[in-house]
Structure 1
Amino acid sequence: MQIPLLLDRSRPATLAAQIVEQLRDAILQGRIAPGTRMPSSRRLADQLDVSRNTVVRAYESLMIESYVEGRRASGMFAASHLPDHTARPAAPPAIIAEGGSPSSMPLPCMPIRAQDLVARNRNRLAFDFFPGRPNAALFPLKTWRRLLQKSLSQGGAAGISQYSDPAGLAVLRTAIAGHVATTRSIVADVNRVVVTSGVQEGINIASRLFLGAGTVGMIEDPCYQGARYAFEAHGAQVVGVPVDSQGIVTDSLPSLPATLIYVTPSHQYPTGHVMSLERRHALIAWARRTGCYILEDDYDGDFCYEGSPLPSIASLAPDCTLHLGTFSKSLGAGLRLGYVIVPEPIAVAVRSAKALLNNGNSWLDQATLAEMIRSGSYAAHLARIRVRYKENRDSLLLALRRQFGVAEISGASSGLHLFWRLPAGVPDAPVLEEIARRARVGVYSLAGGGAHDATDSELARRCVLMGYAALLPRQIEQGIARLSEAIDDALELPNDSLPRTPAGTGHLALRFAQQPALRRTLLPQASFGPDDPAKSRFPMPVVTNIYRYPIKGLSPQRLTDVILKAGHTFPHDRMFALARPRSPIDGHVAKWAKKGLFVMLMLDEALARVRTHLDVDTLDFTIREGNRQLLAVNLASEKGRNDVEAFFQQLVPTLNGTPRLVRAETGGHFMDKPDKIVSMINLATVRALEERWGVEVDPLRFRANVYIDGAQPWEEFEWIGRDIVIGDTVMRVDRRNGRCGATNVNPQNGLRDLDIPTSLRTAFGHKDLGVYLVTRKTGAVSIGAQVIAPTDTVQHHVGLALAAVSTMPERRFICRGCYYVYEEASGLPEQGFAPGTSFAALPATWRCPDCGTEKSTFRPMALSAA
């Protein structure tokens, strides 16, 4: 290491003193970092042309002052810790030439905007749906390492030590030419191929060659931010052309002369539409007629999931098209390799522009990629990841439909992201982006996802980009579920006045206690252990109550029996709802929508002050308060519906308007989730919460269809993904039920007296209680019907669940990705970890069973008081 030191032999100070002074200042100012190896005395003496003894004396002085330290057989190092009495002086002021000052320096000729693709805060997201990012776990690391070592052993030293062709290695350009001939129908001479550092560099090269002050550059609207900003940076007038479901609208192309038009025909960014063949021919005809080059960005061109890809524009019009391609989506953006295929007349100019930018790309990366393409490994890799990404796409589509109903999607036939038009009841895209981020879910508006919309259109307000390649199917499902919960949670009123679990206690405060309508005598606790097999089961679970809720948010109606049909929801459950004033729900028959569009207990607790009853056959409807009947109408008549709407406007004055009574379409419902499900509560779990919190919790707060008793507390969570038999029907236990603010409302008097969701999350790291069932076999269910659970779960210990009442101290660890909780007392028997297995004993490779997060992200949870 050479340290800049200047010795002035005309000064009275000795040379050793000058060396000490300058090295001390360098250490104090941070120019020499703590622990840095200092030059040897011999080397520093040669550098300064002084005797070695002079340097030795200087080092000895610095050692006495504790600025450097010697290490045996290692040399001299800057001290790791400076002396306490020293203060770091400020850096010396910059030397200003005579007559100048920092403020007189010119600024850039024009402001330059650039897209921000760096994930500064995205690493804090548990579920990141950033568009266009591949899955790092699918990178062919072993293949890449093998080919890289092969490239190094075959001329690697010579290749690295000298400049190579700025246009790229000939072997890589040959491989790219063969690749695009097969996959894009582009027949190109190697001299027409130029290797770039990704698509953005190709855009910049084209902009530099064809745009400038007074020229016109055209882009899609909306489009990729990087193209818009590159055109602006070169002084061009930028004109946007709208896109629709067939790509750029060629009829809207202006007649004014342009020199360059940027398009993404394979998977339009951001909308995901594929440009039709007719539009491609129309664009080519316009470009030839006006003398405008087409800059074709083959965005996501490697990922076509349905049908055959259309021929690229460059294959149809090689004379007027610059074709951009990249390996960022298939291998990774960190590789920084792409290519541009240009018409023959401008090939030399493009190569020269590339040379002026950076004189070419890394020799080693180019050589490795060339061998990967030549050997067929790249084609095999593409085939493999295409299958995985299609599975991810299907998982995302399914998750959106399960949580949000009918999803209006574009771009599903190809690419690595979906373009989702937000349904009614979901906030605008910028607001949703922030709500999701607070829940550690990454969804992206156009601006957040790197797209530009010149008109701030409805697309910018009501559409988001959802990338899916970087996640696992299970993570996609959980991420969308959390997004849905975050949207619902954002609707809730502030809960600062509600009692919560005090820190350090195991009890839930309350304003007053009430007698739960369904509470039964607590079942005796059995002692479980390997030496007592006779006590290894609770009594056979049975159905104790069956309810339907004909009108969303209003009173339950108890049934003695019900016929559940396979693939259907609970009969006559949430068949009506009161749409909020000014909600975008038209007519008296409506499709499912997010609950924020309806009058509901979560926001409107006054609904619980009255008792309602609907005869589902005649549609006769009554409203009572105590023993007094307030209203009796028939919902089949318009007058009856109007009377109901007027009544609830008076009952809930915060509505600021008249709600509208709507009926679900045939086979539909207005439950909180759009799929065909039945909700179930295990009363043993409710009693476990009562014991833990020291209060009585009315099970009707949870508004379930089926209530069972006789199972273990929280055992229902162990049934997820499996079949149970209830009476004559077979049900699949589909997923947990996350609780919302409606459970805070006392169903007996309409007061908010508890904070159930927050208390659940405080105690257990989640707010789940109860499960959703899917009917697989039609059959009858009646009160008293037996519930036959999976046989290998009923033998589980009492402490099997994520949340269980325990009088013994237990250690729990929470996943920071999805809030899964590992309890040492319960273990994880399904993975072979017996109850009592410590978290430290889990292997380092163990991952969260819910979201796949690494063990290292888990954090200890505070012990709860008994």
Structure 2
Amino acid sequence: MPEREDQLTLHLDLTGEGGRRIQLMRALRDAIRSGRLAPDTRLPPYRVLAGDLGVAKNTVAGAYAELVAEGWLTAQQGSGTRVAQRTTAPEPGAVRSRPEPDRIRHDLRPSSPTAAAFPRTAWLASARRALTAAPNDAFGVADPRGRPELRAALVDHLARARGVRADAGRIVVCAGFGHALQLLADVLPGPVAVEAYGLGFHRDVVHGAGHRTVPIPIDADGAQVGELAATDVTTVLLTPAHQYPTGGPLHARRRTAVVDWARSTGGWILEDDYDGEFRYDRQPIGALQGLDPEHVVYLGSTSKSLSPALRLGWMVLPAALVDDVLAAKGTREIWTGVTDQLTLADFLRSGAYSRHLRRARLSYQRRRAALVAALADRAPHVRVSGIAAGLHAVLELPDDTEEATVRAARSAGVALDGLRDYRHPDASTPPRDGLVIGYGTPPGHAFPAALGALCAAIR
């Protein structure tokens, strides 16, 4: 039976800057753009949506009226407020940020490991051992800090592999980097400095907590942290081992300088060590946290080393932040599953994780070499950078060619990202043209064809 108008429900997240009316308008536009609200979908009446969202009826009425004026919605007597038909297709000249799933033939989007390389047999063996050995209390009410077995295993692994100084009492397990950043944004003061090129998703998380983000310029030596002294920020988010997405490490002088800044101002450094274990040309650069565990929050996860599907991450916190972060996490919320935590603890202790990393590094190093060779042969005008570590490379393009190159690639079914997409909208330096290519995502048998399609698009 069709849902009655007074029973219509609509889930919307009211976050970000601006008042409730602005947040509601933004949420509705996003839902329409993404296709979650299809054309001709009827929206709840003012009073129903206002009650569901906990806002004033006039707030909903004002948001609806403005979106009708903009053409996103239509309103007719007796028919209610509906999504306008004109939203079925992009406006003329618009470029989709992603190709449709059924049109993607080669996925070269960055940051994902090869899904087929997940070590299923070794993971299953660890799961069996972990479940057999797990105490009964592991299946009771969870500890918001995470399982002690995993935190103890992380202390050993991070100290050995990344130079992190920690004890189990300072580690909090979370559901990936985004979850960790959300918790930290809730307890740390704003505004927050971020690198001028970085993930928009991370900026959105910070904005969702009510903080402004301040872009810090980057160059070949990483973030220009000397600029922090001229800002009003007390928290900075960095990718010091391998700047994302441009690829360079933070220079040693700047590593020292940003720690000195934190000590002198009482500030906090959030270290995103997203792929610090994948370095090819020399020994991995140690974690910045090792220079000052009382001012640096170390953030890691399994998203690049194993799989983003595991939703396993961790924070190594300064002592002064542990209680505040645990209070923000709460005693009842969405946590990483206990069985995955126990399995990862055994995976680390048994040496299976280190063996997997060695195999993965060799595989990705070969892919990197194939990418560089293919470009040198078929697109020699393109310079490749940012390849000393990680799972992606930056292809530097001539000025004013990025948009056309991205369009050509997507028309050919090649999914990739343009470098401009990562630029902070308030960055002071001019935008750079380039492509951010993930060479970890395609399955092995499809990688040569993906490189061929990429080079054809660039030509």
**Smaller-chain TM-score range?**
0.7 to 0.9
Are 1:257 and 1:290, in contact at CA under 8 Å, matched by a contact in 2?
A: no
Instruction: Give the direction of change, closer, same or farther, for the CA distance of 1:436–1:344 in structure 2 (3 Å limit).
Output: same
SS at match of 2:450: helix
Between the aligned partners of 1:317 and 1:176, the Cα distance in structure 2 is: 18
Between the aligned partners of 1:221 and 1:179, the Cα distance in structure 2 is: 31
Are 2:395 and 2:437, in contact at CA under 8 Å, matched by a contact in 1?
A: yes
Residue 158 of structure 1: CA displacement?
5.6
Aligned match of 1:149: 128
Aligned match of 2:47: 101
Where in structure 1 are there 5+ consecutive unaligned residues?
Answer: 1-28, 30-89, 112-117, 489-866
Instruction: Give the direction of change, closer, same or farther, for the CA distance of 1:149–1:474 in structure 2 (3 Å limit).
Output: closer
Residue 452 of structure 1: CA displacement?
3.9
Between the aligned partners of 1:100 and 1:263, the Cα distance in structure 2 is: 43
Instruction: Give the direction of change, closer, same or farther, for the CA distance of 1:324–1:446 in structure 2 (3 Å limit).
Output: same
Between the aligned partners of 1:435 and 1:406, the Cα distance in structure 2 is: 17
Between the aligned partners of 2:300 and 2:443, the Cα distance in structure 1 is: 26
AA aligned to 2:308 is A
* Residues 373-772 of structure 1: pairs in structure 2 closer than 5 A: 373-423=348-398, 428-446=401-419, 451-455=422-426, 460=431, 462-471=433-442, 475-486=446-457
SS at match of 2:270: strand
Are 1:392 and 1:471, in contact at CA under 8 Å, matched by a contact in 2?
A: no
Higher strand share: 1
Residue 367 of structure 1: CA displacement?
0.6
* Residues 196-345 of structure 1: pairs in structure 2 closer than 5 A: 196-211=174-189, 215-345=190-320
SS at match of 2:353: helix
Residue 107 of structure 1: CA displacement?
5.2
**Match for residue 179 of structure 1 among 133, 157, 180:** 157
Between the aligned partners of 1:335 and 1:119, the Cα distance in structure 2 is: 24
Please list the CA deviations of residues 817-862 of structure 1 after superposition, one character each: whole Å capped at 9, or x if unmatched: xxxxxxxxxxxxxxxxxxxxxxxxxxxxxxxxxxxxxxxxxxxxxx
Instruction: Give the direction of change, closer, same or farther, for the CA distance of 1:456–1:252 in structure 2 (3 Å limit).
Output: closer
What is the Cα-based RMSD across aligned positions, in Å? 2.8
Residue 345 of structure 1: CA displacement?
1.9
Q: Which has the larger radius of gyration?
A: 1
AA aligned to 1:478 is A
Instruction: Give the direction of change, closer, same or farther, for the CA distance of 1:120–1:374 in structure 2 (3 Å limit).
Output: farther
Residue 226 of structure 1: CA displacement?
2.5
Instruction: Give the direction of change, closer, same or farther, for the CA distance of 1:323–1:485 in structure 2 (3 Å limit).
Output: same
Between the aligned partners of 1:357 and 1:420, the Cα distance in structure 2 is: 45
The answer to which structure, 1 or 2, has the higher relative contact order (CA under 8 A, 6+ apart) is 2
Residue 474 of structure 1: CA displacement?
6.3
Please list the CA deviations of residues 743-793 of structure 1 after superposition, one character each: whole Å capped at 9, or x if unmatched: xxxxxxxxxxxxxxxxxxxxxxxxxxxxxxxxxxxxxxxxxxxxxxxxxxx
Between the aligned partners of 1:349 and 1:103, the Cα distance in structure 2 is: 34
Between the aligned partners of 1:146 and 1:445, the Cα distance in structure 2 is: 40
Are 2:150 and 2:344, in contact at CA under 8 Å, matched by a contact in 1?
A: yes
Residue 249 of structure 1: CA displacement?
0.7
Are 1:313 and 1:321, in contact at CA under 8 Å, matched by a contact in 2?
A: yes
Residue 103 of structure 1: CA displacement?
5.7
Residue 91 of structure 1: CA displacement?
2.1
Between the aligned partners of 2:348 and 2:100, the Cα distance in structure 1 is: 35
SS at match of 1:173: helix
Are 1:167 and 1:355, in contact at CA under 8 Å, matched by a contact in 2?
A: no
Between the aligned partners of 2:312 and 2:327, the Cα distance in structure 1 is: 18
Between the aligned partners of 1:123 and 1:320, the Cα distance in structure 2 is: 46
AA aligned to 1:220 is E
Aligned match of 2:143: 165
Instruction: Give the direction of change, closer, same or farther, for the CA distance of 1:154–1:239 in structure 2 (3 Å limit).
Output: same
Instruction: Give the direction of change, closer, same or farther, for the CA distance of 1:297–1:103 in structure 2 (3 Å limit).
Output: closer
Please list the CA deviations of residues 88-126 of structure 1 after superposition, one character each: whole Å capped at 9, or x if unmatched: xx2234369xx98236445599x9xxxxxx988346422
Please list the CA deviations of residues 423-445 of structure 1 after superposition, one character each: whole Å capped at 9, or x if unmatched: 47xx6323322221111112211
Instruction: Give the direction of change, closer, same or farther, for the CA distance of 1:100–1:235 in structure 2 (3 Å limit).
Output: closer
AA aligned to 1:143 is A
Q: Percent identity?
A: 30
Residue 149 of structure 1: CA displacement?
2.5
Aligned match of 1:130: 109
Are 1:396 and 1:476, in contact at CA under 8 Å, matched by a contact in 2?
A: no
Instruction: Give the direction of change, closer, same or farther, for the CA distance of 1:311–1:155 in structure 2 (3 Å limit).
Output: closer
AA aligned to 1:370 is A
Between the aligned partners of 1:131 and 1:373, the Cα distance in structure 2 is: 26
Are 1:443 and 1:466, in contact at CA under 8 Å, matched by a contact in 2?
A: yes
Instruction: Give the direction of change, closer, same or farther, for the CA distance of 1:342–1:155 in structure 2 (3 Å limit).
Output: closer
Aligned match of 2:12: none
Are 1:410 and 1:420, in contact at CA under 8 Å, matched by a contact in 2?
A: yes
Between the aligned partners of 1:400 and 1:390, the Cα distance in structure 2 is: 16
Between the aligned partners of 1:438 and 1:407, the Cα distance in structure 2 is: 20
Where in structure 2 are there 5+ consecutive unaligned residues?
Answer: 9-44, 64-96
Higher helix share: 2
Are 1:196 and 1:361, in contact at CA under 8 Å, matched by a contact in 2?
A: yes
Are 2:397 and 2:435, in contact at CA under 8 Å, matched by a contact in 1?
A: yes
TM-score normalised by length of structure 2: 0.77
Residue 459 of structure 1: CA displacement?
7.1
Instruction: Give the direction of change, closer, same or farther, for the CA distance of 1:104–1:176 in structure 2 (3 Å limit).
Output: closer
Are 1:399 and 1:480, in contact at CA under 8 Å, matched by a contact in 2?
A: yes
Count residues in correspondence: 383
Aligned match of 1:520: none
Are 1:446 and 1:453, in contact at CA under 8 Å, matched by a contact in 2?
A: no
